[in-house]
Amino acid sequence: MSYAKEYRAKLVTPADAVRVVRSGDWIEYGQFAAQAVALDRALAARKDELWDVKIRATTRVAGTPEVVKADPTAEHFAYHSLHFSAGDRKLHDQGVCWFVPILYHEVPRYYRENCRLDVAMLPTAPMDAHGYFNFSLSNSFSRAICDKAKTVILEVNPNLPVCLGGREEAIHISEVDAVVEADWNIPELPAAAPSEMDRKIATLIMGEIEDGSCLQLGIGGMPNAVGSMIARSSLKDLGIHTEMFCDAMVELAETGHVTGARKTTDRFKIAYTFCLGTRKAYEFLDRNPGCASYPVDYTNDPFVIAQNDKVVAINNCVEMDLFGQVCSESSGTRQISGTGGQVDFTYGAYRSKGGKAFLCLSSTYDKKGTPVSRIKPLLTEGAIVTMPRPFVSHVVTEYGIVNLKGMSTWERAEAIIGLAHPDFREDLVKAAENLGIWRRSGRASG
């Protein structure tokens, strides 16, 4: 049978495709900008026939899933996310979304060895002449999902770009159980405009980046500010090895700052595992031979990251305590994002020859008109420890950069207090004394 005939034989309506779902099943919707839409709508329509169907997705940015709208009590459909978007966070607050803790580079193994998965519903680009469907903007752990699922249904969308690999960037028609066709617009997530605080922190980091550095940028205004500053700098022969491809990287590539010429892995190519941004980024990646899409157990493996020299990893965090513990994903017990790849790249960058991992935070945030310190004696009660203290190296606020590696507890406390807003330093010194991690050298309290 030709690939075209096999495609037609497996082509069904969304309503017919979701008939395979049974009560108690685990379903996968996909990740980031490529998540089930038509199949989600069809599954929601079966609410009264189904109970306790569990759904997993990652960082949904296309609005509330239809299954959640149809079942606000979560008796029929229980929605889960491996990394919260703003929408996921709100659903969690309403009690209709549950969080799945992960180390991002380990997730393919979770699916292959630990997770139950009955039906995969994954968006892809249209089938090519050789019978392959490209996973597009979400390579991530899509291949692992398909390997584990008892039934694989593809939601084919002609709007999705073809993202060249790499490896594990596609699935063949022979491995697919059903195909549905859809035509929705790809959700976009514009980067937040950098604040003045972001620019101050970015300026400090710029002094640490060298020719030939290999970059990983997280999401948000501050990494975007770094990208813009690099685009206006004289830095050259930069590489990119990252989990997320974002709009700032398009500018770096198009201005000639990124060549990949000094990379050890994927030389001359931008390596990434997913893209979440605007149409600018999506169009840049479409069939671009200068970019390579990989599964996350490659891009985020600390030992792969470390093979490149001068890796610079830049990520944000929520708060930090005087012991050097970092929370990047919760506000107290309230889950607001996820671990993501922060641990992976912080560890990988430190193992890289000449590498540096920066954890960035403003010294304060505003709470109803009152400044609150992000540097605390102890993390807020219930806060998740995203980065255990031995993993933390460079920490940046608008007051400077410190490298905590090799420091004793009192040296850490002193260095961290030096990054705090001056209005809070005296109280932090007193707290460090009470915690038994202060040696009065007199440097940080001034």
User: Is the separation of the CB atoms in 386 and 341 below 8 Å?
Assistant: no
Helix/strand/coil (H/E/C) assignment for every residue in 153-193: EEEECCCCCCCCECCCCEEEHHHCCEEEECCCCCCCCCCCC
- Name the DSSP letter for residue 138: B
Q: Which residues contact 435 (CB under 8 A, 6 or more apart)?
A: 322, 377, 378, 413
**Which sign does the torsion angle of CA 16, 180, 143, 223 carry?**
negative
Rounded Cα gap, residues 322 and 190, in angstroms: 34
Q: Which of 68, 432, 58, 77 has its CA nearest to residue 273?
A: 58
Active site residue 169: no
Neighbouring CB atoms inside 10 A of 222's CB total: 29
Catalytic residue among 155, 169, 243, 398: 243
* Number of helical H runs and strand E runs in the chain: 16, 27
Residues counted in the chain: 446
Catalytically active residues are 243
